[in-house]
Structure formats: structure tokens, C-alpha cells
Structure 1
Amino acid sequence: MSEESSEQPAPQHSSDEELIREALKAEVRLLPLKPGVYRFFDHEGHIIYVGKAKALRNRVGSYFTQQAGHSAKTQVMVKLIRRLETTVTATENDALLLEANLIKQHQPRYNVLLKDNKSYPYLHLTTQHDFPRLALYRGDRKEAGRFFGPYPSVHAVRNTLKWLQKIFPVRQCEDTQYNHRTRPCLQYQIHRCGGPCCDRISQEKYGAIVAEVVLFLEGKDKQLVKALQQQMWQLAEARDFEGAGRIRDRIAQIKLIQEKRRLNLTGHVDLDAMSIAVEGGQTVVQLFFVRGGINLGNRAYYPDSRGEEDVSAILQAFINQFYLERPPPTEVLIDRELPEQELLQSALSERLGKRVRLHRPERGEKRSLVAMAAENALQSVRQQQAGQVQNRVLLEALQAEFNMPEQPSRIEIYDNSHIQDSEAVGAMVVFGPEGFIKNQYRKFNLEASGAADDTARMEVVLTRRFKRLKEGDEANWPDLVLLDGGIAQLNTALRVAEELQLSRGDVLFCAIAKGPERNAGREQLFLPDMTEPTILPHNSPLLMFLQRVRDEAHRFVIGYHRQKRGKRQTQSALDAIPGIGPKRKKALLHTFGSVRGVSQASLEEIAKVSGFSMELAQQVLEHLGVEQGSG
């Protein structure tokens, strides 16, 4: 916003700052010489920094007594400190863990932040089942069975499943579907499944295939190939040349795949290899996942360094936060020494429950792997820079085209979605100089709003959003708001701005409408105080940029709408029965396959399901009977 809020506290005068500094120093002198975590607060009561210490008094005191040796970022931070809090811990390892948790919870402005907090996908083998299922799994890994991974992305897991099915015909269907099949599915017909659901394969033979899958995923492919070769010769000696030929082909496929994935490492090692690159203010950490000597893939991370200049300190903070909720492997390779490497290694070992080796390899295969990570990190940071340069050029063009006083630093794009007014939703995506800011996307549920059409729904969305901004989220105030729609959406936005007493200088609204016959490339731009819409040349880079951000909002809102619609479509008559929650509903469908299967079951069969009594079983049948009779 162009003006400072009148409610902001007045800045501290120098005499006040001196008094605060002396009070903080006095408080520091009372701190214990024990390990723990400290938190610095600004004048608004916000946590601006979280740190850990081996001796709290010495570490916290250094901020106020050794300022000449601090970086520029730290000197600015110290001037903002108005209050501090500490937590004493039993060990320095406990302090390191608590520090990572507090940083994740509060996102302090002067801490290095890991912006990616997604759980990693695994391959899950349901070993408790007579005919185990192999499938993608994402979550806390509390379910029974074997887990293989982690993989860097869902795409990597799906690719792995795709070629695994070609070699090992293990089922991937849900247990509910498996329990109620009466004939084999297409996967059986194309030799991607052994058909255990219809007794087309014995449990013993299926178990042997599962054992082969486990060997393969554990990286013991040489042991697997040797066993398959023995089977092949046995079949050949028995003159079953067709069976021997099938095994020969499987061996060839296994060798081909593993040649592409196996690294030149000694043994079946589990390790992560990472390297950090910092260039032009951008920070990238490239991480390679290796399990059982097999390269599962790599991924780039973009931690927010918050002005931190020590690259080793950034990498150390990244590692501490990255393995906060992910089990580390037994070996982590890094490209440089860390300030507190032994402490971090001890903390990782404690989290895993066995020794973790954190080190920088000096020679050999592992050094080559780190060098490969370094090369990828440098490439990633340069791609990021190139993208930001392109973004700046486009934002400058946008500023000139829309006659804005400054280059926009935050653009919010809004769109709505529904089918015949059902499951109406809205969404907002955000774009800045660094690209799309996905952790600031927002969804709006409009089912209870009573809005009758798209313009009314847009009014609801914008009213909710700007009320929240005015109530305290002004740090995320947009410079430009783009609306998917035409002049009606623009007028709606201007009406909301007037009702909320927003000035024209606070935010610029623009509506983007598709051209005649919804022709992409002839979009019309509607701006306030303009009698005619602006139409950019069809090959204009600015038009392509506006189409891209508009399409991203469309993609996001469509995804949310499909999610809600899918949830409604999966609801059943069981949801309306008192006493039947998600767990009991899941148990019924798992046992009987469908609502129809439940309705055809006897009272005694339902009562045998876990969590059901005869009384509840009777209630289920009565309710389903009423529904069927009323239809």
C-alpha cells in the first residue's frame, strides 16, 4: 500500500532503544549455561528469529556484545529485537530438533526456510495380505507392510510401477475391488497381473513373484538374476522351452532397467547426496536419492536463505529441517564441511535410531556422485535466474501497458468453477518476480454463499479476500488483481473496492475475457476508466504471459471443483445412517464391496464386521430397506 497504517506502533527513539538493549543484556546475564533454544521478538510480538545454543547465556549474549563481527543481516535483526524467550533442553540434540520444529511452525523472517513440506511418495507392498498389492503410497507410513523409497516425485513412482508390472505381474488394485471381482480385469489379459482375484495363480507361485519384487526393489538384482537363471535352465532341461524363453526375456528386461538405474557404487548402499549452489541471490540444493545402490531420481529445492551469506550455514539449516519429518538414510553426502557437522550427524542418528554418517567424500564413486549433484545444482540456479530475468521483463511490460506507477511485485488471479451451479468454488493464485507462489494459493467454498451467478460469486470471493487483507494481512497486499471474465466481473470488483473503502491507488483491477467465440489469442482486457477493451497483438509476449497466469488459475480452480464433485459422487446411502462414521463405512465396503452388497447381506454377516453389533446391523438394514423402498 502507498500509505503506512495509522495503527502501526511508533518507531523507538534512540534512548528507548538503548534502554531496551540494556534490559535485554540484563536478562541475558540471568540465562543458564545450558543447551536450549532462544526466540527473538520484534515490537509487534512476532518471532523474527529462532536459534539453538550449547550454552544459552554465551550464545544469546554474543548478539549484544560482539556486533562488530556480525553480518549485515544479523546487525539489522539485532536492532529489531524487543523481547526474547528461551527453552532449556536436556541435550544439544534436543535443542536442534526443537529449533527445526519452531522454525517450521513460526516461519521467522530471519531464519533460512525450507519451503517444501510435502511428504515423499513410496512404493507400498501389503505383505499382510495373502496376495500382496504393490502401489503408490504417500503419508506417514503407519500402515502395515513394506515400504520402498522415498522417491523424489509421484511421477517417478508411477514410472517405476509401470515397468515393474511388465516384469513382475503383481496386482495393484484396491482390496475392495479385489475381493469382489468375478472375472479377471484387463491387467490380467495384457499379462500385467497374475489374476489372483479369480484363482488364476496359486498363492505359492504368487508369493514367489512377490519375493522377486522385493529383491529387485532392495537392489539385489544380481541375486535375483542368478535365481531366475537357475529356473530357466531347469525348465530347459525339462524341455519346457516356452517357459524358459519367458524367464530369459524377464532376465533381459531386469538387466536393461538396472543398467540405466544402478550407480557405480560398492555394495547396496542407502544414501542421499546433496550439493548447494548460490548465485545472484538465488539458492538451490540439489538432492539425489539412492536406495540399495539404485538411483531413484533427483530433485531441486529452493530454500529461502533470508539474506544469510554463509553457504555452509544455509546447507546445515536445510538438512536439519529436511530430515525433521523424513527418516534420513544411513549415509548423507555433502559438498562442503558444515559449522556444526558432528552435532547434526548425532541428531540425525538419534532421529533414525542408528548411526547416520554425514560427510564430504574426498575421492572415488561417492565424490563423483556429489560432483554430479553440484553440476545439477548450478544448472538449476541458473535456470531459476533466467526465469526471473524473463519475469522481470514481463512485469516491466505489464507496468507500461497498464500505466502503473511501479512494477507489480504481487499479482493475484481469481477464477470460479461450477457445473450447473453445483459444487461452486473459487480460487486465487499468486504470481511474483520469482514466479508462481504456490504456498499462497487460496481456495474458496461458495456452496453456502447463496450467490446466483458468476459475478455474484466473484463478489463473495473478493469480499472475503480483501476483508482479510484489511484485518491484518496487509503484507500480502496485491498490486494487481486479474479476474477471469469481462466487464461484469470488473464492475463487481470495483463495487467491492468501493464498499470496503479501497482507493484506486491501493490495487489495480483488470478483467480478462476470451475473444469472439472464446478464441484464445484475441483476449480482451478491461481496465477501470477505459471505454473500450484493450486487445494485445496475438503474438505479444505480454499476452502470452497473461494467458499463462489466467490458465494457472483455471487449472487450480478446476482441480478444486473436481475434488469436491468427486467427494460428493463417492458419498453413499451409508453416510446417512446414524452411528456409521468413516471407519465403519470403510469396513462395510471393504467386506461387501458396495452398498448393494451390504443390502444383500444377512443380519448375522453384517454383525460379524469389526465395530458392528446386532443392533447396529439391524439399523443398517432398516435404513437401506427404507431407501430402496422409497425409490
Structure 2
Amino acid sequence: MPTKSDPGSEESREFDSKSFLKQLTERPGVYRMYDAAGEVLYVGKARNLKNRVSSYFRKSGLAPKTEALVSRIQSIEVTITGSETEALLLEQNLIKSLRPPYNILLRDDKSYPYIYLSSHSDYPSLTFRRGRTKKGGGTWFGPFPSSGAVKESLNILQKVFRIRSCSESYFRNRTRPCLQYQINRCTAPCVGYVTPEEYQEDVRRATMFLEGKNPAIIHDLMNAMESASAKLEFEKAAAYRDQINHLRHVQEQQSVDSAGGDADVIAIAQDAGVVCIVVIIVRGGRVLGTKDYFPRYSIEQTEGELLSAFLGQYYFGGNTRREIPRDILVPVEVEGQALLASALSEAANRETRIRGNVRGERRRWLELAMTNAQQTLLTHLASKETVYRRLLALRDLLELAETPARMECFDISHSHGENTVASCVVFDENGPLKSDYRLYNIEGVKAGDDYAAMQQVLTRRYRRMVAGEGKRPDLVFIDGGKGQLNIAREVFDELGISDIPLIGVAKGVTRRAGMEQLIDAMTGDVFRVPADSPALHLIQHIRDESHRFAITGHRARRDKKRRQSTLEGIEGVGPKRRRELIRYFGGIQEIRKASVDEMTKVQGISKALAESIYAALHDQ
């Protein structure tokens, strides 16, 4: 039976905010705070999750109500979304369904704002509505996060497309044009000043715009804005800029609130000997929340086999069976997928499909689930309890006299010898100590000579320590085989610090995670550790973090040397596409905030390229 990450313990313990915040993402999303009994206390949304959640744990300046809330927190769960708008809609869904005690006085229960295109056969109206109904037919666009943005955008749409906004009774009883016609916001269909064919063409264009299929009006406004700026008419340019921003908000299509559909979206992530499975529950097209699981597994199991075992236990295990939706979305093919789908269909008394190759809304749900699985796994690996348990196992494995309080790991990164960079990452009893991470630019060595690069970085690091300028580690790891380890031992002997344990971490013959070989520099012994060992999981975590940090540093140095901007360093984004991105969003900060779907609305930006841009801007 899979074990859920317990949102709270019955015991009264202080929430370890420091460890939690270390690995918390800076992306937009929703956070849920739980008490010791596992009951939700508060639901909030954030443009930057790390900054927002960190603000609750300031040492001073909190309101009394916030202090009372923080004193009861035992755990926090987060759900990452594609944009701040999606976070807002998911937050409102969760508040309405969970009704947390600390939200009720702070949030109203209004329905979302929509834009409604009436069902009139010849001259439909375009109006603002709050809440969606099935009466009267017509077409609904939304929901949208801001009623102000919708109303302002309707004004702009009326200026551009001149579609009526009056009620049906008002429209039927007009004998002469109203004020909207006089101010050029309506074509006066009530008195026949426009033919049904001409009016329907305006409706068609407005509909395409609201569906995000025709951004031409935005490009027209961008041209007008640039023209006004060139003429030094800055107030007019600012007005155009505001119009563009409003129209972009209207175009946003929300992946957390769609036209309908029930699905469970399953994602899997694994690292450092731990597997995290995230289930996103979607009912009626709305994301209702997420659940996290950390099942035990064997390294021989593929992701398809893991998901097969998980799904069987998730839906059929325990005393009560969970609701089985029509669609179960998975990132990889599940072992025995057809047989499992048949069993689920029989249990649900209707067809249930297990699907991986999906498009549109369901693809966005699956991508959202994968992002959440990766973030949840990072948070779990960084938790204080996890790190402490692994430290004890590492002490016993290496037969150390005491639990290591400071561990350092080194790695080398370059591209065909270009811009070589060495990394030094540090772990202590709380996990990654990022304030002590260091990058070293390697100079004066032959291109591609990793041995010479390792000698240089170790000499530079520990020569300062011997001189009393650096902290002394209790344990040092080298990402590499016997060659790199021998270089490290020579440096240590030369500096007279051979009493520090030195361990090499080499990939095994199969180069698979869990098959690493450890090499003791003191004895030369080469040994393997069981794949399920907490000690090996800690070593893998340190080694992977060192590798990631080295690659990040190398890329930054390479791009700086090539004098590339943030966008210039992205493959496929040339001068024309950079210009279109800047024109559409107004600057690099707005591009960072945009979701993949919003980027695809820019001329020349495909879905695949938008995903590459998003990943590059968020260091994925």
C-alpha cells in the first residue's frame, strides 16, 4: 500500500520551516497549510511561492492573526501552476471546497467573471457576466481572474469590433441609435445600420480573439505604441501599453478550469533512491488538489512497472475504494496497461481509459503534475528528518567516529574543453548548504584535462583552509573514478591534510543510478552499497547536486563569454523572435511570468519553442 506524505503528526512539534524553504520553488502556485491533525488551516496563492511562504516565518512584523496561524502549522503542501492566473483560480477552487478557517473572513464566495456572447441569430451581444449558467444558450469565454481586466477589455473589444452590449429587451425596442453608436462603439444593428453578414464577420473576429486564435489586434496596438513612442507621445504610448496588457489577460486560457472532464493525473519523479508519485484530481474540468506518495521500490523496476503497481494499490487497496474517473493520465506506458484498464472499467461499471499520449488541456494537466512531482521530491529530499536518517546511515557505512557535520563534493564541467568550471557543493546536518557553494573558473590547463582541473580546484580550495581562511570538512567526495581520486589524494598529501576521509563516487558498469561504486582513497577499496541504502541515497544527492551546480556555472560562464543575453542563449530564438517576444510582453520580467500557452500566442513561437524558452528562463 503506498504511503501518503503525512500532512501532520498527532504529536505537537515545531514545523521545520528552514528545511522546507530551502528547496521551495520560486514559480507561481498554491500553498496549503495544515495543523497537527492534518486539517487544512489556510490556502493561499503566490506569484513566487518561495518569497510568499517565507514571509510567514519572519522574526517580526507579523499580524496577530498571522502569528496564530503560523503557531499551528505542522506541514505545508504546494501545487505549482503555469501562471499566477492559474494559481488564483485553483486557490478559489480549494477555498470553496475546503473552507479553511483562516480564509473564510478574507475571501468572498463570488463566482468567476466571464464574457458572454448571446445566442441571437443575427446580432448577438457581448457582455460581462459573473457566474456561468446553461440558460439561453450562447457562448461563454473564461473564467477570468479579474473582473476589472474583463470589463476594461470589453470596452476595448467594443472599440475594435463595435459589437453591441445591450440587453435583448433594450435591443428589440430601439427606434433610433443609442449613445454607443454616437461614440463609435456599436454599429447600430438595432436600427439596421449594419447587415447581418457584416455584423457576423465582426463577431467571428472577436470570437477568434477571445479564443486566443487571432492576436493580430495586439500586434496592431504594438505598432501603434511604437509609433507613438517614436513621436514622443509617451502618454498615448502608455495607454496603448495598458490596452495590450488587458487584452493579454483576456486571452489567457486556464488549465485549472476548463470546459469539463474528470481525470486523475499521475506523475512520477525519482532521484537519490526515492520515488515520488503525485496524483492531481480533476473533476468537472477543475483541478481540486494534489496528493503525494513515496512508495518503496527496487532499482530494477521501470517507471511503467512502478506506476502499474501503484495504480493497482491506489484504486483497489484498503477498505474503501477510491472514485475511478473516466480518464487516468500517465507520463509513460504502464506495465499491463490494457489489463489494468479493463479491471478499472469493470469496477467503475463504465469505460475507464489509461492514457499517455494526450493533447491540449489534458497535456497541460500532465505537465503540471510532472512539475509538482519533481518539486515535491526536492522538498522531501531536503527535509531535516530525511537528511538526519541518511547521515546516521553514512556514518555507519564508512565507520566514522562521529556523524559528519560538513561534507564537500567536487565536479568538473566543460564543453569540449571550453570554459571549464569546477563546483564545490556543501552539505551539513540540514542538507544542502547553498550559502557555502563555490564555483571555480579553471585557467591554464589543457582543454579537456579533467585531472589537471581537479588538481587546480582542490589546491585552491584547501590551500586557503590550511592557511586558516576556510572551514574544514569532515568528509570529501570526488565525482569520478580512480584517476580523479588519485589526484585528490596527492593534493591532500601535499597539503598535509590526509586525515580527512576522501571518497570517490564512480558510475558502475551499467552507469545506472543505484549501481555506483565507492572508492576509499585511504585503502583503495572499491565497494558497492545496496541500492536501497539511505547512505547511498545521500551520496547520490550530494553527487547530483555537485553535477547540477557545475553545469549551471559552466553554462553561465560560456554565455557570458559569448556576450549573450538571456533570450540570445536560447536555441531557436533569433533577433526577430526576440523582438516579437519583447514587443508582446513588454520586457524580460513579463516573459518570465508568462506560461507556455501565453508564449505560443506570440507570432513565430511554436509550442515546442515556448517550452524551451520557459525551461531556459526557469533554469530547468
**Given the two structures, how large is their TM-score scaled by the length of structure 1?**
0.35
Higher helix share: 1
The structure whose Rg is larger is 1
